Structure 1
Amino acid sequence: MLRLFTKDIEVVEACSQFLPWLILMPLFGVVAFTWDGIFIGAMATKLIRNTMIWSVVAFFTVWNIGLYLLRSRGYDTDVNSIHLLLAAYFSHLAARSIYQTIRYRRVQMIPD
């Protein structure tokens, strides 16, 4: 898949370690972004605000714990930091998806 974007072997080798994250990204993102569209269309702004608060908490929790673990074990490298950033972003997407799925039944849609 990476060879569709570039023919440079060094770039393909450097990016290949991130390929699992890139494959999983649409699976995590589609649920979160679909719910966002539904709730924004329903004008459920408080729910969107609360969703973002919880998802930011999830992001920074994973980020800070991961950073602590990387540093305490001496693995503080650029590559590991990128993996940590992607893991934190996935926790952000997962928190959005889970929270909005749970809250779906409580939203009262505005009649036409």
Structure 2
Amino acid sequence: MDGFAFAGESLCGNLIGGGDSRGLRECVKALFRWSVAMVLLFTLVYAAGGESIMSLLSDDAGVRLSAKEYYSWVIAIPAVGFAAFTWDGIFIGATRTREMLLSMATATAIYFVMLHILFPIIGNHGLWIAFLAYLLTRGLALTAMSRRIF
């Protein structure tokens, strides 16, 4: 997903610098189309290859067993986080760091509130929910801000 952020930085920066607003809109659409395609691919790979992926990361059966309890959260990361990563590149390319700061501050506040509430009740599952809420909040906040910028 960061690959699309890096592409967005360069492509969008060049288009904005060149004053090509139509090209910028088309670039943003293309970045999101490719991001969604990668979300589908990686979600399928993570879902189908969970055991194999965990075996690549550790040969300890206890570690793999512990990781298995939380693996469904890993499968959700591409779908929940792709907008945040894609918008990061676009906003960096547009040198719109204030908006990024605001999205990060909002998402971080939501993360800590959710963590504070959920972790004592459901342990590490609460941590995962808070993390996914952080990613989702960043993506939604940047999407909302993009409507008045691009």
TM-score (norm 2): 0.59
Instruction: Report the 3-state secondary structure (helix = DSSP H, G, I; strand = E; otherwise coil) of the residue aligned with 1:106.
Output: coil
Task: Go from structure 1 to structure 2 and tell me whether the alpha carbon gap of 1:96 and 1:33 turns closer, same or farther (over 3 Å shift).
Answer: same
**Would you say 1:58 and 2:110 are equivalent positions?**
yes
Gapped regions of structure 2 (runs ≥ 5): 1-49
What are structure 1's unaligned runs of at least 5 residues? 71-79
- Distance, in Å, in 2 between the alignment partners of 1:20 and 1:67 is 17
Q: Report the alpha carbon displacement of residue 19 of structure 1 after superposing the two structures with TM.
A: 0.7
Give aligned-pair identity as a percent. 31
| Partners of 2:140 and 2:116 in 1: CA distance | 21
Indicate yes or no: 2:143 matched with 1:101: yes
Match of 1:42 in 2: 94
CA 1:83–1:67: 2 relative to 1, 3 Å = closer
Q: CA deviation at 1:67?
A: 3.8
Shift of 1:9: 2.3
SS at match of 2:130: helix
Letter paired with 2:134? H
CA RMSD of aligned residues (A): 1.7
Runs of 4+ in 1 over 6 A off after TM superposition: none
Determine the C-alpha separation between the residues in 2 that align with 1:24 and 1:67: 19
